[in-house]
Structure 1
Amino acid sequence: MSTNAPIGRLTNYDPRRAGRYRLVGRLGRGGQGTVYLGEDEDGGFAAVKVLNVDVRLDARARERFLREIAAARQVASFCTAQILDVDVDGDPPYVASEFIEGRNLGDEVTRHGPLHGTRLERMAISTITALAAIHQAGVVHCDFKPGNVVCGPDGARVIDFGIARAAGDAGHSTVVGSPSYMSPERYANAGVGPPADVFAWAATVAYAASGEPPFGTDSMPAIMNRVLNEAPRLPGLGSALDELLRDCLRKDPGARPQAREALLRLVEGGGPVQDPRLAESVQLVTQVVPREEPRNHRDVAGIVLAVVMGAAGALAGYQVTHEVPPAAILGGAALAATYLVRTMLAGRESARVP
């Protein structure tokens, strides 16, 4: 196995096993626990988060944790790291997720500088698509940030969704997150919902494009004051994308677009889409979806665009491996998208027949 992800050595204080996984190295540490590289009996690898909180001590916390994780396991896997195993009764308690090879977005920007052009657009589209899928499953990520976006060979993937919220519930705290990417309502301890994720996504895109989050990186009181009272500092990304990020960074969570709306704005003239092959595929799909029924259009487009964004990830993989022709990738995505549209619309029409 080869990977660009930094893997640290285990210390004398680290566990050597978590359930069926042998822990072979450290991948990182966060507010909810330490993440290890785990190897199963078949030689497969997983990212194993050993939790800081013991959810076995509170029956209600345990039930909430399992409910959150069960919902997270239902999220479509096209732009995320799928949850594989959960054991809250084990010693230690852990959550194992798909291991994605590659550096996280924060490390990538630190090492190679800000993202521009098609690299930025692919990251933005892939991650907002992932958030749309996460929210569709009834899950809130709760800690969306550059460290939870992995730049893998098949495109950007979102990790750790649902775990921060579940661990926060188990620890009886609703303030969980990274200061530079936390929304105003998070600082006010006013509950966590999908709008907080949208806020964090916009802050992450701004960071990826400039190397600096829009509300700074200094002390937490200073960051909090800017989040609550000041306008974000955004790089010049063009009026349409700047406008979308500003809308997503509004102080009032009710004034922010939903993740699915932000995705549609990105691919329907509100964002860059500079790669001609990706733009061509997106144009084909948006032409297939009828315009006379805006509500149906958005419902269907959310699913169809997920297919196209999966193709965009595969296209990124092609640029590394050159194993699959781009025409086959985008052609397959277009056929699948067209089939989905026609099938769903036919179902809607039959449902209207008395």
Structure 2
Amino acid sequence: MALRDSDPVEVGGYRIEDRLGAGGMGVVYLARSASGRRLAIKVVHGQYADDDEFRARFRREVSAARQVSGAFTAPVVDADADASRPWMATLYIPGADLGTHVREHGPLSAPRLRELAAGLAEALRDIHRAGVVHRDLKPANVMLAEDGPRVIDFGISRAAEFAAADVLTQTGRVMGTPPFMSPEQFASPQDVGPAADIFSLGSVLAYAATRRGPFDSPSPYETAVRVVEGEPALAGVPDELLPFVRLCLEKHPKSRVTADELLTLLRDGGPAAPPPATEESRTAPPRRVPAATPPRDTPLADPPPEPTGPRGGRRRRYLLTAAAGAAVAAVLAATTVVLTVALSRDSDPGPSAAARSDLPDGWKPWATAAKAPKGSERLLGSADSALAGCAAVDTSLVCAGSGLMATRFDLADGRATWGRPVDPTPDGSSGSSEGALIGTTDAHVYAYEAEEGETAAGPRFSYTVYALAADTGKELWRTGTGTGESASLPDSTQGAATAVPEGVVTFYGSQGDQYALLDAETGDVRWKHPKPHGPKAPADCLLRSAADHAYLVCVIGLSERGASRTTVSQIDPATGKARWTVEAKGAQYLLGQHDGRLVLADTFATDRGLTMIDVSSRVLTVRRLAQPRPEDAQAYLVRGTVYFTRDSGGVRAVSPRTGRTLWESNSSVEKQGPPTASATQVYFASPSGRLAALDVSTGEVVATRPGRDDGGRSDSLLVTTGAPLVLVGDALYVPYGVRSVYTVDVRDL
């Protein structure tokens, strides 16, 4: 770049040879030292020379750059922050910055991406060990040197230990480059620490792999919102790099890996290409820590859908307004942001409470009970029990349990309009199943009917899967799944059936030794296959679904001694064959899926962490837990967090990506059932309907409701856990007592 007449001949005694570039804060020149060494000299624009705060930031940039090893940065040779125009000289690094390289040559190849990831992780490790947080890691600040990437430009860095007291980054100041900033840089700039650089690293790697940032948007406001609460766009990132990018892009700082951990995972966490996975070649660094041990017959909740209505109230609007303001300013300035946000928490009251509500049309608080099925007073275990589970379908809350195949409540007013029993002809001799929903579609409900009893020839068992219309209970189709002493009950809570968009996958046949797909529209058996066999006997298999895919999870050599192994197979809905199979150690239970990865917990072992399987690459990792947990805890995956819960009310929130404990609390809810969560709170309930709301970020109990077992339970000692909750916008539906449900507006807790 040619020199201009206004450019200096020398700076600090160093002869200027060329102009390397210019930005909003200054000009960078190529210069020579007396010995002939090439230097890059950054000279601040004149208009900033009289800005005392800017000079203070410049001194800090020089200090930060000097603290970090030159192996990963451009070493500082000389500087003068008190000159008429402050300047700093570093060694010149030949080569283009990452942004320029990608623009000119396209995305990096997979091997080069892995080298870049390792190089930047090393650089951040060194930077953080020096007590510095860079805060502006972006493609333009990564130089592609011959010996590896170098991180440059510490203009807005700071000492990590002075986060809260940093006068240059007090509340109201947002600093960084929006598409590569972390959520906390928008929401809480004074609390930014090393984890912010890790988030930026994830964004930089995604850019290097795809030529676009994971939160890019034409709208600066949308960019800010996507960073704070949106899912990253990672299409095009190579499968083998995805697990590492996702670990960096966790929204909560404590959920992200450190630079040290990332380096270890890059070295040991998986091969460069995804051949059939084995645990030995895909595990995280071994460290023996007690792991999850949910009871095998405990229903574990999959993540509910993201809320579609307005969430979070005034505080969230404030944060997003601040974030949007920062993004807009950054786009207009086309440079690093140093922006004062002049908003107080109460400056924007927002719309009225009524306008902000996200409740079903015509909703009002209600509590009601379903009618007992005919003859249930003669059925052992069915006359006095709770609903096993509920699901919201259109305007209906459809529940099952307590001898009911399914029953409907209106979401708005609680009217119970229809109900069907599990056993159509109870005669007192049956031990009829309690009942459970298999699944739902947009307007349909899958449930089952059971006929179990004694005949002159011996026991008789017959099971049928039904598809019902959610609004009327009308039968759409029915298909028998097995008749015989060894037939399998198609109960989803026992892992014997599950629903997917193509229909119901269930164990099938008189021996229950097959699995089959019942067509969603007709109930016809589209295919069936035998269960897998172990070396000496059939494997102990469960059917589970996650993200609209069915999985066959089979434990071979089931044993509490830890000699078991588990195969996880994704079932092709067209043929029933396994699209892929991954084997893991131990007796694993599938909790659900989050961010493209299955999350599993071991049923018995206490020295095994959470098992993660990337559904795209099939890379398996074992995420060690940061601290042991009680053996009697149950595990649930809800909105990307694993909650370990105890009957006493204890709750521990854990990031499945890192195994780190996010918080630990006590809900004060006895025998708490599977939780549900919004973007801001997680809810727990007891069998009697006692309710607690905890802050998802801190675990603080923010609200409680007393129990209301007016359903007439007389045998509550037999109840082991509360029923799963259902959240529809701001309306929370709580099953309790005997076939009873109540609903509450969570904003009024």
TM-score of the aligned structures, taking structure 2 as reference length? 0.33
CA 1:64–1:182: 2 relative to 1, 3 Å: closer
Q: Report the Cα distance in structure 1 between the residues aligned to 2:99 and 2:186, rounded to whole angstroms.
A: 23
Task: Please say if 1:33 is aligned against 2:26.
Answer: yes
Alignment-mate amino acid for residue 184 of structure 2: E
CA 1:174–1:85: 2 relative to 1, 3 Å: farther
Residues 150 and 159 in structure 1, CA contact (< 8 A), matched pair in contact too:
yes
Task: Quote how far apart the aligned CAs of 1:37 are.
Answer: 1.3
Task: Quote how far apart the aligned CAs of 1:126 are.
Answer: 0.7
Residues 209 and 235 in structure 1, CA contact (< 8 A), matched pair in contact too:
no
Residues 178 and 223 in structure 2, CA contact (< 8 A), matched pair in contact too:
yes
Task: Quote how far apart the aligned CAs of 1:193 are.
Answer: 2.0
Task: Quote how far apart the aligned CAs of 1:117 are.
Answer: 2.4
Partner of 1:176: helix, strand, or coil? strand
Partner of 2:156: helix, strand, or coil? helix
* Residues 254-297 of structure 1: per-residue CA shift (max 9 Å, x gap): 221112211211112247399xxxxxxxx9xxxxxx97799xxx
Q: Report the Cα distance in structure 2 between the residues aligned to 1:130 and 1:273, rounded to whole angstroms.
A: 25
Task: Please say if 1:187 is aligned against 2:186.
Answer: yes
Identity of matched residues, %:
40
Alignment-mate amino acid for residue 164 of structure 1: I
When structure 1 is superposed on structure 2, of 205-214 and 243-252 the one drifting more is: 243-252
CA 1:187–1:92: 2 relative to 1, 3 Å: same
Residues 68 and 139 in structure 1, CA contact (< 8 A), matched pair in contact too:
no
Task: Quote how far apart the aligned CAs of 1:217 are.
Answer: 4.9
Q: Report the Cα distance in structure 1 between the residues aligned to 2:220 and 2:104, rounded to whole angstroms.
A: 25
Q: Report the Cα distance in structure 2 between the residues aligned to 1:196 and 1:292, rounded to whole angstroms.
A: 26
Residues 182 and 199 in structure 1, CA contact (< 8 A), matched pair in contact too:
yes
Task: Please say if 1:82 is aligned against 2:75.
Answer: yes
Q: Which has the larger radius of gyration?
A: 2
Partner of 1:175: helix, strand, or coil? strand
Q: Report the Cα distance in structure 1 between the residues aligned to 2:16 and 2:42, rounded to whole angstroms.
A: 10
Q: Report the Cα distance in structure 2 between the residues aligned to 1:164 and 1:124, rounded to whole angstroms.
A: 22
Q: Report the Cα distance in structure 1 between the residues aligned to 2:271 and 2:9, rounded to whole angstroms.
A: 46
Q: Partner residue of 1:278?
A: none
Partner of 2:262: helix, strand, or coil? helix
Alignment-mate amino acid for residue 189 of structure 2: A
Partner of 1:226: helix, strand, or coil? helix
Alignment-mate amino acid for residue 70 of structure 1: S
Task: Please say if 1:220 is aligned against 2:227.
Answer: no
CA 1:217–1:36: 2 relative to 1, 3 Å: farther
Partner of 2:79: helix, strand, or coil? strand
Match of 2:157 among 159, 165, 168: 165
Q: Partner residue of 1:151?
A: 144
Q: Partner residue of 1:350?
A: none
Task: Quote how far apart the aligned CAs of 1:114 are.
Answer: 0.6
Higher relative contact order (CA 8 A, sep 6+): 1
Q: Which runs of 4+ in 1 moved over 6 A?
A: 168-173, 290-294
Task: Quote how far apart the aligned CAs of 1:72 are.
Answer: 2.7
Partner of 2:189: helix, strand, or coil? coil
Q: Report the Cα distance in structure 1 between the residues aligned to 2:42 and 2:78, rounded to whole angstroms.
A: 10
Task: Quote how far apart the aligned CAs of 1:95 are.
Answer: 1.5
Task: Quote how far apart the aligned CAs of 1:155 are.
Answer: 2.4
Task: Quote how far apart the aligned CAs of 1:202 are.
Answer: 0.7
More helix per residue: 1 or 2?
1
Q: Report the Cα distance in structure 2 between the residues aligned to 1:149 and 1:211, rounded to whole angstroms.
A: 15
* Residues 115-159 of structure 1: per-residue CA shift (max 9 Å, x gap): 112211111111111011011101111211111111122222222
Q: Report the Cα distance in structure 1 between the residues aligned to 2:15 and 2:156, rounded to whole angstroms.
A: 24
Task: Quote how far apart the aligned CAs of 1:165 are.
Answer: 2.7
How do 1:311-326 residues align onto structure 2 when only pairs under 5 Å count?
A: none
Q: Report the Cα distance in structure 2 between the residues aligned to 1:144 and 1:239, rounded to whole angstroms.
A: 23
Q: Partner residue of 1:249?
A: 249
Partner of 1:28: helix, strand, or coil? strand
Match of 1:12 among 5, 9, 14: 5
* Residues 294-349 of structure 1: per-residue CA shift (max 9 Å, x gap): 9xxxxxxxxxxxxxxxxxxxxxxxxxxxxxxxxxxxxxxxxxxxxxxxxxxxxxxx
CA 1:106–1:61: 2 relative to 1, 3 Å: closer
How do 1:264-343 residues align onto structure 2 when only pairs under 5 Å count?
A: 264-270=264-270, 272=272
Task: Quote how far apart the aligned CAs of 1:239 are.
Answer: 5.2
* Residues 225-255 of structure 1: per-residue CA shift (max 9 Å, x gap): 1111210011354556312212211222222
Q: Report the Cα distance in structure 2 between the residues aligned to 1:268 and 1:12, rounded to whole angstroms.
A: 55
Alignment-mate amino acid for residue 103 of structure 2: T
CA 1:101–1:169: 2 relative to 1, 3 Å: farther
RMSD, aligned CA: 3.1
Residues 103 and 211 in structure 2, CA contact (< 8 A), matched pair in contact too:
yes
* Residues 64-92 of structure 1: per-residue CA shift (max 9 Å, x gap): 65355324312122222112212111132
Task: Please say if 1:93 is aligned against 2:86.
Answer: yes
**How many residues get paired?**
270
More strand per residue: 1 or 2?
2
Partner of 1:142: helix, strand, or coil? coil
How do 1:95-134 residues align onto structure 2 when only pairs under 5 Å count?
A: 95-134=88-127
Task: Quote how far apart the aligned CAs of 1:11 are.
Answer: 2.5
Task: Quote how far apart the aligned CAs of 1:189 are.
Answer: 4.8
Residues 131 and 259 in structure 1, CA contact (< 8 A), matched pair in contact too:
yes
CA 1:15–1:123: 2 relative to 1, 3 Å: same
Residues 118 and 273 in structure 1, CA contact (< 8 A), matched pair in contact too:
no
CA 1:217–1:13: 2 relative to 1, 3 Å: farther
Task: Please say if 1:50 is aligned against 2:49.
Answer: no
TM-score of the aligned structures, taking structure 1 as reference length? 0.67
Residues 267 and 273 in structure 1, CA contact (< 8 A), matched pair in contact too:
no
